Amino acid sequence: FIFRKCYLVLNERYLYFPPRIVEHPSDVIVSKGEPTTLNCKAEGRPTPTIEWYKDGERVETDKDDPRSHRMLLPSGSLFFLRIVHGRRSKPDEGSYVCVARNYLGEAVSRNASLEVARK
């Protein structure tokens, strides 16, 4: 009886585990108007949800607004259809992290900077 109970606990721990980041985003320099991707991949059970943050603020993607130029890919990566950058507004330039969450915890990626190339 004791052996069976231990086996079930070990089995549950194996089946359910908190997220961990297995692919961190990298710094990128990209031209205004061009597409780019910030990669992020996480493991966990249950499968973690991924959210992106820029300079500490949650990033709005196509999941929030279908008209957004930022898309959350099934892998967890953040795809930019085009980089938006103006004299007064620089909504895409900044420091990004991805956060993977499930009910057992969360994991935060390393920071990655997105910089717009100067002409």
Confidence of residue 13 (pLDDT cuts 50, 70, 90): low
The pLDDT value given to residue 90: 85
CATH class, range 22-116: mainly beta
pLDDT in tens, 52-110: 999 999 999 999 999 999 999 999 999 999 999 887 878 999 999 999 999 999 999 99
What's the mean per-residue pLDDT of the chain? 90
Domain ranges of the chain: 22-116
More confident residue, 90 or 34: 34
Instruction: Tell which phi-psi region holds residue 94, choosing left (phi > 0), alpha (psi between -120 and 50) or beta.
Output: left
pTM of the full predicted structure? 0.85
Please give the DSSP secondary-structure letter assigned to residue 99: E
Give φ, ψ of 109 to 5 degrees. -75, 170
Peptide bond into 35 cis (omega under 30): no
